[in-house]
A and B are shown apart, each in its own frame.
Chain A
Amino acid sequence: MNRFDYIRPATAAEAIAAAALPGSAYLAGGTNLLDLMKVGAARPERLIDISRLPGLDSIDWLADGTLRIGALVRNADLAYDARVQRSFPALAEALLSGASPQLRNAATVGGNLMQRTRCPYFYDMASACNRRAPGSGCDARLGETRLHAILGWSEHCIATHPSDLCVPLAALDAVVEVDGPNGLREVPLEALHRLPGDTPQTETVLRPGELITAVRVPTEGVALARHARYLKVRERTSFAFAVVSVAAGLELGGTNIRKARLALGGVAAKPWRALAAEAALEGGLASEEAFARAADLALAEARPSGENDFKIELARRLVVRALRDALTGTPADLPALPASPFAPPSGARHVA
């Protein structure tokens, strides 16, 4: 790990002033940043410890039922909040499908949004990586690509954004509240992360010094609460990043779909909202045929970035499965293996 200056500001204004200097990085839970620093993939000159900034660690409900999550709320506290589970169950299912309990106790919501790709070539200092070292090339392109993109990638970078939480947040039209050198602004979560193009090193639209202070989830999403799922295919049933994941939510009127929300994870450098699929579902019958058509629309632009064409069909099938499970209904209790398509019925043992 490189040497750095450690600064613990008392206010957001002090933090922003310090973070606007080149070479600065914010430190909150540290679960991703310290890992990156240990391998040398991140080498900040100055760490701005924001973990004690006042007023950023509460879960609040606005008068209209909108959820406002402080940036320093720990993943575990959000996932186990009773009203969050009731109103936005896919958020809880996504959170509990990610990382481990120890990491969820430390990792924050703001850090979850700002976490870096888990592309192994990004982490390996001996590999060429345009995201880590602009202009050096992309060794992932002809490498191991099971975890790489099938949507929105470029010749310069095929990395994916690893967050589970961001997938239902994108589906639920979440808004990111940002404070910065030029004051407050808001960014739709869907617009926070950038596709790589020819500048993969610029991962988000945040400017130097800008600080995520909260994430708002609009109250409209509560209408999906009875039919909301997050499903995640991974290499093992727990403590692994998604090969492909899907957040699906339905609001039904009789047998018809009044409103549909659909987003995919593990397929692009950002959480991938499937707007065309949602539009095709809305107003129609909730049927297998409609789900299959939605899946085709969601993956219409998909193309393999390596030996990962299987992910396109996998994603199609997972979209259908997630919509079918959402139609069946949100389980009363979170499954023992959250988000696993292979989870046995709640409480059952998979080892006799």
Chain B
Amino acid sequence: MSLSLSLNINGQPRTINIDDPRITLLDLLRERLALTGAKKGCDRGQCGACTVLVDGRRINSCLALAVSLDGAEITTIEGLADGAQLHPVQVAFIEYDGFQCGFCTPGQIMSAVGLLAEGHAGADPERVRELMSGNLCRCGAYRGITEAVLDAQRVLAATAREDAA
């Protein structure tokens, strides 16, 4: 079975032919498109290392069939920075030590970008922790992650105010 997909990946329109409908979005990104930022941790939707944005919303790419996403816009960690200018969430993760080994970090950062777009956390660290609970960190960098998310939110809000002014 040959299937043709149109996907916009990190701003680039792509037409991709796949020979098997079993390919998940995660496997498509990693194995066919050499975008290895999203990680395969559990491959069961439990660890969040594979988190990417699909049409602006964070999902577990390991639990989505690529073929079912025909026409979607995908954003991965590779598409987050603006050239050499890191995204404010990336800057904040470095600033606040939001990682140690780094394996879960692309998923943590994409999840945080999704969280901030959703806008349900406010300035409440408890809500940030709850809304980041789909991303596991075996190094236990949760404190830094929470602080990074809150800081990135402040930076993004300040930038939005400057842009409006």
Query: Bound complex: CA of A131 vs CA of B112, how far in Å?
Result: 39
Known: A34-B63, A106-B60. A51 touches B68 (CB 8 A): yes
* Chain B proximity of A65: nearest CB distance (Å): 26
Flag whether B58 is at the interface (Cβ < 8 A): yes
**Contacting chain B: which of A3-11, A178-186, A202-210, A272-280?**
A3-11
A residues 333-352 in Cβ contact with B at 8 Å: 336-338, 344, 347-351
* A80 B120 Cβ-Cβ under 8 A: yes
A residues 219-257 in Cβ contact with B at 8 Å: 238-239
Flag whether A120 is at the interface (Cβ < 8 A): no
- Which residues of chain B come closer than 8 Å to A239, judged between CB atoms? 133-134
Indicate which residue in A31, A344, A348 contacts B63 across the interface (CB closer than 8 Å).
A31
Size category of the binding interface on chain A: 35 or more
Indicate which residue in A35, A38, A99, A102 contacts B111 across the interface (CB closer than 8 Å).
A102
* Chain A proximity of B107: nearest CB distance (Å): 9
Indicate which residue in A6, A35, A105, A351 contacts B44 across the interface (CB closer than 8 Å).
A35
Query: Bound complex: CA of A47 vs CA of B21, how far in Å?
Result: 10
Q: Which residue of B lies closest to A350 (CB)?
A: B126
Query: Bound complex: CA of A112 vs CA of B57, how far in Å?
Result: 19
Query: Bound complex: CA of A113 vs CA of B131, how far in Å?
Result: 23
* A38 B44 Cβ-Cβ under 8 A: yes
Mask, B104-131, CB within 8 Å of A = 1, is: 0000000100110010100011110111
- Which residues of chain B come closer than 8 Å to A99, judged between CB atoms? 134
Query: Bound complex: CA of A43 vs CA of B115, how far in Å?
Result: 34
Q: Which residue of A lies closest to B146 (CB)?
A: A351
* Chain B proximity of A78: nearest CB distance (Å): 14
Query: Bound complex: CA of A277 vs CA of B149, how far in Å?
Result: 45
Query: How many positions in chain B have a CB within 8 Å of any CB in the partner chain?
Result: 37
Known: A4-B22, A31-B60. A100 touches B126 (CB 8 A): no
* A238 B130 Cβ-Cβ under 8 A: yes
Known: A47-B21, A347-B124. A106 touches B48 (CB 8 A): no
* B126 A101 Cβ-Cβ under 8 A: no
* B21 A38 Cβ-Cβ under 8 A: no
Query: Bound complex: CA of A76 vs CA of B130, how far in Å?
Result: 14
* A336 B124 Cβ-Cβ under 8 A: yes
Flag whether B76 is at the interface (Cβ < 8 A): no
* Chain B proximity of A121: nearest CB distance (Å): 17
- Which residues of chain B come closer than 8 Å to A314, judged between CB atoms? none
* Chain B proximity of A33: nearest CB distance (Å): 9
Mask, B56-79, CB within 8 Å of A = 1, is: 011110111101100000000000
* A30 B68 Cβ-Cβ under 8 A: yes
Interface centre among A4, A6, A80, A349 (most CB of B within 10 A): A6
- How many A-B contacts at CB < 8 Å in the complex? 98
Known: A6-B3, A30-B64, A49-B68. A1 touches B22 (CB 8 A): yes
Mask, A58-83, CB within 8 Å of B = 1, is: 00000000000000000010001000
Known: A34-B63, A101-B114. A337 touches B130 (CB 8 A): yes
Flag whether A27 is at the interface (Cβ < 8 A): yes
Flag whether A290 is at the interface (Cβ < 8 A): no
Query: Bound complex: CA of A348 vs CA of B123, how far in Å?
Result: 11
Query: Bound complex: CA of A348 vs CA of B44, how far in Å?
Result: 32
Flag whether B34 is at the interface (Cβ < 8 A): no
* Chain A proximity of B111: nearest CB distance (Å): 7
* A102 B130 Cβ-Cβ under 8 A: no
* B68 A100 Cβ-Cβ under 8 A: no
Mask, B35-66, CB within 8 Å of A = 1, is: 00000000111001001000001111011110
Query: Bound complex: CA of A235 vs CA of B155, how far in Å?
Result: 36
Query: Bound complex: CA of A51 vs CA of B22, how far in Å?
Result: 16
A-B contact pairs, 30 of them (CB 8 A): A3-B20, A4-B22, A5-B21, A6-B65, A6-B67, A30-B68, A31-B45, A31-B60, A34-B24, A34-B65, A38-B44, A47-B21, A49-B65, A49-B67, A76-B118, A80-B118, A100-B48, A100-B133, A100-B135, A101-B133, A103-B59, A103-B134, A238-B129, A239-B133, A239-B134, A336-B130, A337-B130, A347-B126, A350-B126, A351-B143
Lowest 7 A-B CB distances belong to which pairs?
A: A100-B134, A6-B21, A238-B133, A336-B126, A239-B133, A105-B57, A102-B134
Which residue numbers of A lie inside 8 Å of B, CB to CB? 1, 3-6, 8, 27, 30-31, 34-35, 38, 47, 49, 51, 76, 80, 99-103, 105-106, 238-239, 336-338, 344, 347-351
Instruction: Please give 14 more A-B residue pairs, beta carbons under 8 A apart, in addition to A1-B22, A31-B45, A106-B63.
Output: A6-B1, A34-B65, A35-B44, A38-B44, A80-B118, A100-B45, A102-B60, A102-B134, A103-B45, A238-B133, A239-B133, A239-B134, A336-B126, A344-B126
